[in-house]
Structure 1
């Protein structure tokens, strides 16, 4: 892979080349506790210049409660046109189990909205037909803590639907494990795992559709930019969907890339290379 563009000073350096942005949320727009003011300002400025912004997130909840969360974090609604979540895409998978028993892994009530209107009942794993993973039960958990439970799921040949494909996220000044890490463990043990969020195509297709609705016209993929902080989800998803990537280095990859010190363009290129993403540029935090 050739070197990416030099570190850019902000989204303004690229804005004229793109009609729409499909932006990751956690790690780009907020850190799980509060918004990054520079990122919100960048998206506001981009929209004021005529660009369209669709948030594309692996949050394991439907879009409506996410908007309320973004309000609390200080993300102005004027900073984006629409939002699509992994939770939105996952609900279609869960609906196939209508009238049947599911086993939930994740915070016990935080993700209730994922099941709103779906005729499923939560049960113990030994009674369920599928395991639904939103996240680990607590922020202090590690995937390895679930190995014994996963042996039961595997013995019963339970498929897993993972509503959050992310492995880790930034939470304040900590890095915590997400549902995708548990999905990886189960797959490595031989379990069947289904995911609908990034980097998989259904969520990108819906985000692109929403961008075209916001623009009120067809869009060319060559003029659509993905913004993200994860090689596994954002870079791979952008590459598979055929759009450029602005890589935010100061989140989950901050330490290994010395994002806030003297980042090496070659190191960034090497990190992103396996995804085959086309880098439009990189910066430590999204800004204008």
Structure 2
């Protein structure tokens, strides 16, 4: 794994960057200006930059959130969200949906013609996240009841946990794990699963007008089980950002302990192509 100082060090090897958002460009509270500048410079050098996120929201909503953080479209060519990719699963499924997640996520269903119903009337479960101040354990009785009826469980955000400022917040992927443990049927489109990467490559092809060459694409992210694993499974090189989600696993007094980092990566049998503490 090659340690890097700047993304520009990889310009000769890659033409396209698929960059995670949360944990790389911002932490849910503040943006990281050096990361924005790095992506802007890449585009100025003729590189393609697409943002890939497991957000359950549509890309227009994510773009609006990015603007609020001072991250304009000058630093990317397009956005791929797990929410958008999951829409096909929702369209192809039953119209009677039991929604698990905050009410603000219900914008996902706009224009789909679905009916949001109670758990006992539903034919499919769609999970976008947890309610505030709830833990995965709080949902176990509900998930067990749903699983006992053999309802498919569409997980819109495969992330298990994210960091918001100094706090950690559970995501829909944590509930999907429980549903799987109960023997339930999980349907997932976001990272680390293939559908979101297929969509991303389709957007790259459309943008460049050329066949996609995976060896010229670099994924960038801070999640070992989403960004790194997803890139590995799809056959892409990956730049691991160390200051994100897992930093407490291998940092000592704010500095990376190389032995701890090696142990962390070995635990997941992952070996990223390159490492950078923060994107710059």
Decide whether aligned partners of structure 1 residues 283 and 88 sit closer, same or farther in structure 2, where only a CA change above 3 A counts.
same
Of 144, 148, 151, which residue of structure 1 is paired with 2:144? 151
Pair 1:126-2:120 in alignment? yes
Please give the TM-score of this superposition, normalised by the length of structure 1.
0.92
Task: Indicate the residue corresponding to 2:26 in structure 1.
Answer: 30
Task: Indicate the residue corresponding to 2:48 in structure 1.
Answer: 52
Decide whether aligned partners of structure 1 residues 199 and 260 sit closer, same or farther in structure 2, where only a CA change above 3 A counts.
farther
Task: Indicate the residue corresponding to 1:168 in structure 2.
Answer: 161
Pair 1:185-2:178 in alignment? yes
Rounded Cα–Cα distance in structure 2 between residues aligned with 1:107 and 1:259 = 36
SS at match of 1:250: coil
Rounded Cα–Cα distance in structure 1 between residues aligned with 2:62 and 2:253 = 29
Task: Indicate the residue corresponding to 2:11 in structure 1.
Answer: 15
Q: Deviations over 1:95-128 (max 9, x none)?
A: 1235x311111111x1122111112111111111
- Shift, 1:175, TM fit: 1.3
Counterparts of residues 61-210 of structure 1 (less than 5 Å): 61-98=57-94, 100-108=95-103, 110-138=104-132, 140-210=133-203
- Shift, 1:192, TM fit: 1.3
Decide whether aligned partners of structure 1 residues 266 and 209 sit closer, same or farther in structure 2, where only a CA change above 3 A counts.
farther
Bigger relative contact order, structure 1 or 2 (CA pairs below 8 A, ≥6 apart): 1
Task: Indicate the residue corresponding to 2:234 in structure 1.
Answer: 241
* Number of residue pairs aligned between Structure 1 and Structure 2: 280
Rounded Cα–Cα distance in structure 2 between residues aligned with 1:267 and 1:213 = 41
- Shift, 1:259, TM fit: 7.4
- Is the Cα–Cα contact under 8 Å of residues 244 and 278 in structure 1 kept in the other structure? no
Rounded Cα–Cα distance in structure 2 between residues aligned with 1:88 and 1:277 = 28
Rounded Cα–Cα distance in structure 2 between residues aligned with 1:220 and 1:281 = 19
Task: Indicate the residue corresponding to 2:277 in structure 1.
Answer: 284
Q: CA RMSD in A?
A: 1.7
Decide whether aligned partners of structure 1 residues 11 and 210 sit closer, same or farther in structure 2, where only a CA change above 3 A counts.
same
Query: Runs of 4 or more off by more than 6 Å in structure 1?
Result: none
SS at match of 2:115: strand
- Structure 1 stretches lacking a partner, 5+ long: none
Decide whether aligned partners of structure 1 residues 197 and 17 sit closer, same or farther in structure 2, where only a CA change above 3 A counts.
same
